[in-house]
Structure formats: structure tokens, C-alpha cells
């Protein structure tokens, strides 16, 4: 048995052996499962034609100090299908402190990415990060009330060494609701600093983007279950110090979402100057881009959801297509659910 597989098996055994006795001691268990089959028939430049298949299993235990403070520990086991020695096969730690009440959510450590950053636009953070980098390694602070949701996070990508640069991102994401209307903001700074090797020529790189949108939500006010539309501006910047000064790219972006029972349609349009965003979707490296998603949710029961999405990418050079099926399941014991409600 390979070492990573052995680690997963031992951890799962400990979770299920310890958890029943530990519930009375303010301890809880969650097990997340994410399966994905994502076929990308990309033909445009700047994009990579590939198929992404695999599973991500994330068991974790939390230890509650009181109703607001907890320590969470676990593992993320991620493996691609068709395994061989060049395949991805990783065990990553889940280890973070979390303070949470009705308004604030603060976390420090190695924490799962999906729940906290799933609504960030693809122009800011590419969706491949959910496959390739399922953890945030850093800090997260979120605030919410009836009208406002706002989050600030830092994700440390690489520690400085002789062979590796220091790299991190700082991001902002939020929404302010006024009746049926809302204003959304998203921003990101990517900083690619130097390694500790003075014998090679390197240049500090800074990239960023700010997106501000205004929209309206007509959900449940027609025969549709969901109907939202928003539009706004995107401003990106790019600089490599000592090579060239700050370059600014501006554009218009709009989003449309329609949902009816188990079906949905999403459309994203971008018009403007080509963006240079290392952490964003590569389709935005052009001045015109439209993405159309047609989706079907064949089953949804409690914490289990299966989703099929057919995507069409309209770019000036080519039309690309993509088919993805994802399955998510999250097990929580009763103590965990009670803690989340507090």
C-alpha cells in the first residue's frame, strides 16, 4: 500500500473510532467527497485542451473550545483517475483555527477552499484551483448581516527558498443587497517576489484585478426559480518591476443566471482590453469572450448533489466546448450541525 493511501486509511479509522465517544466532549466529524469529470475541448490560444478526472476526499475533526472557537484538523486526499507515477496523488493537511458567530467567520491555517471562495468570479480565480489547490493556506475573514457580505483572504502560494520564489495572493469578495438590487465587488492582488538565490536574474511581478458590478435579483418573481442579472467594469493591472511600468486593462463584464427546477443557464460576457491574470481563467487573455453554461442537476438529496454542465466558450479565434459532471457530498454529525447554527 502506498504511503499516502495508508495515511488516509489510518486517519479515517481513527475518525470513526474516536468520534462516537468524543461527541460529548465537544468534538465533531465532517467528511467531504468531491468527484469530478471535466472534459475540456479547448481550441483557443492561451488555453490547454485536457480532461480532468479524479476524486477528493476530506475527512476532518473539529474540537470546540466553546460555541464560537474551534480547532479543525484533517486531511485532503486528492487523486486523478488512471493513476501512474506522473499522476497527481496527494495528501494535504487540513489544520486551522476558526472563530465563527452569526456575523463573523475568521480562520487561520490550512482550510478547504470551496465553501469560502466558491462564488468568486472565474476572471479573478480560475475554477481549476478547486482541483489543483483545494486548500487556502493563510487567513480568511468574513462578515455578514442581512444586507452585507464581505470577505478578505490571503493565500500563501510559495515560501521563499533558493529554488522557489515567494508568491501569495490577497483577495476581496462581497455583495451589498438593497431589496432586489445588489452591488458586488471582487478584487485580487497576485505578488510574485524573488527567490533567495542572488546569482540569477529575477524581477518582481505584480498582477491584480478589480471587478465592480450592479445587479438585480428577480428570483421567485416569475415562473423561474432563479433569475439574476448584473453588469459592471473590470480593471486589471500588470507590472514586472525594472522591466516595464504598470499596465492597465479595462473592460465590461455582465452575468445572467436562470434556474428552473433542476435546470439552469448561465452566461458571462466580457468586452474590453485583454487581461493578464495568472490566477484567473485563461480565456480572459483576449478582448472579447462569452461563456454559455447549460446545466442539469439529475439528483439532489440533502447534502448530496450531482451536476452536469455543458459549457461553450466563444472567442474571436475559436469556439471551444466543455462537459463536466461533478458530485459533492458532505457528511456532518449532529453535533457539527448544532455548532454551525450557533
Give the phi and the psi of residue 84 in degrees, each rounded to 5. -145, -175
pLDDT of residue 17: 58
pTM over 0.85, yes/no: yes
Grid cell 439532489 in the structure block, residue = 300
pLDDT of residue 2: 58
Q: Which residues pair with 78 in a beta bridge?
A: 56, 90
The number of angstroms, rounded, from the C-alpha of 246 to the middle of its chain's C-alpha atoms is 28
pLDDT digits (tens, 9 = 90+) for 118-144: 999 999 999 999 998 999 999 999 999
pLDDT of residue 19: 52
Question: With 60 as the cut, is the pLDDT of residue 16 above it?
Answer: no
Which ranges of 231-293 does DSSP label H, i.e. alpha helix? none
Lowest mean pLDDT among 145-149, 153-157, 307-311, 332-336: 332-336
pLDDT of residue 263: 96
pLDDT of residue 159: 92
- Average pLDDT value for residue range 84-97: 85
Question: With 90 as the cut, is the pLDDT of residue 173 above it?
Answer: yes
pLDDT digits (tens, 9 = 90+) for 48-82: 899 999 999 999 998 888 889 999 999 999 988 88
pLDDT of residue 331: 85
Question: With 80 as the cut, is the pLDDT of residue 23 above it?
Answer: no
Domain ranges of the chain: 45-53+113-341
**Number of H-type helices and E-type strands within the chain:** 4, 16
pLDDT of residue 148: 96
pLDDT digits (tens, 9 = 90+) for 96-123: 999 999 999 999 999 999 999 999 999 9
Distance CA 219, CA 226 (A): 4
pLDDT digits (tens, 9 = 90+) for 3-13: 555 655 555 55
Average predicted confidence (pLDDT) for the chain: 89
Residues 27, 62: contact at Cβ < 8 Å? yes
Question: With 90 as the cut, is the pLDDT of residue 315 above it?
Answer: yes
pLDDT of residue 44: 86
Strands (E), 128-218: 135-144, 148-158, 167-178, 181-192, 205-217
Residues 261, 272: contact at Cβ < 8 Å? no
Task: Name which CATH class applies to 45-53+113-341.
Answer: mainly beta
Distance CA 140, CA 134 (A): 15
Amino acid at each position: 500500500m502506498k504511503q499516502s493511501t495508508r495515511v488516509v486509511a489510518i486517519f479515517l479509522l481513527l475518525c470513526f473510532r474516536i468520534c462516537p465517544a468524543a461527541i460529548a466532549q465537544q468534538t465533531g466529524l465532517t467528511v467531504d467527497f468531491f468527484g469530478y469529470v471535466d472534459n475540456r475541448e479547448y481550441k483557443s490560444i492561451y488555453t490547454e485542451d485536457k480532461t480532468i478526472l479524479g476524486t477528493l476526499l476530506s475527512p476532518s475533526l473539529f474540537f470546540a473550545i466553546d460555541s464560537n472557537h474551534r480547532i479543525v484538523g484533517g486531511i485532503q486526499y486528492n487523486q486523478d483517475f488512471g493513476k501512474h507515477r506522473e499522476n497527481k496523488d496527494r495528501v494535504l493537511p487540513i489544520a486551522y483555527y476558526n472563530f465563527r458567530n452569526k456575523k463573523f467567520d475568521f480562520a487561520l491555517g490550512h482550510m478547504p477552499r470551496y465553501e469560502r471562495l466558491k462564488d468568486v468570479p472565474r476572471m479573478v480565480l480560475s475554477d481549476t484551483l478547486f482541483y489543483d489547490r483545494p486548500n487556502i493556506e493563510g487567513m480568511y475573514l468574513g462578515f455578514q448581516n442581512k444586507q452585507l457580505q464581505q470577505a478578505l483572504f490571503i493565500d500563501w502560494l510559495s515560501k521563499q527558498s533558493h529554488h522557489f520564489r515567494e508568491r501569495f495572493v490577497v483577495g476581496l469578495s462581497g455583495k451589498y443587497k438593497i431589496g432586489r438590487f445588489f452591488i458586488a465587488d471582487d478584487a485580487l492582488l497576485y505578488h510574485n517576489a524573488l527567490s533567495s538565490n542572488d546569482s540569477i536574474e529575477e524581477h518582481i511581478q505584480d498582477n491584480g484585478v478589480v471587478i465592480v458590478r450592479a445587479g438585480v435579483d428577480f428570483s421567485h418573481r416569475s415562473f423561474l426559480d432563479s433569475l439574476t442579472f448584473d453588469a459592471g467594469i473590470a480593471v486589471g493591472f500588470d507590472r514586472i518591476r525594472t522591466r516595464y511600468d504598470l499596465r492597465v486593462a479595462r473592460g465590461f463584464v455582465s452575468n445572467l443566471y436562470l434556474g428552473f427546477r433542476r435546470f439552469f443557464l448561465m452566461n458571462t460576457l466580457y468586452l474590453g482590453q485583454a487581461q493578464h491574470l495568472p490566477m484567473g481563467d485563461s480565456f480572459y487573455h483576449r478582448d472579447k469572450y462569452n461563456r454559455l453554461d447549460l446545466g442539469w442537476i439529475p439528483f439532489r438529496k440533502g447534502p448530496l448533489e450531482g451536476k452536469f454542465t455543458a459549457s461553450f466558450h466563444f472567442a474571436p479565434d475559436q469556439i471551444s466546448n466543455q462537459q463536466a459532471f461533478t458530485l459533492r457530498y458532505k457528511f456532518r454529525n449532529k453535533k457539527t450541525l448544532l455548532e454551525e447554527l450557533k
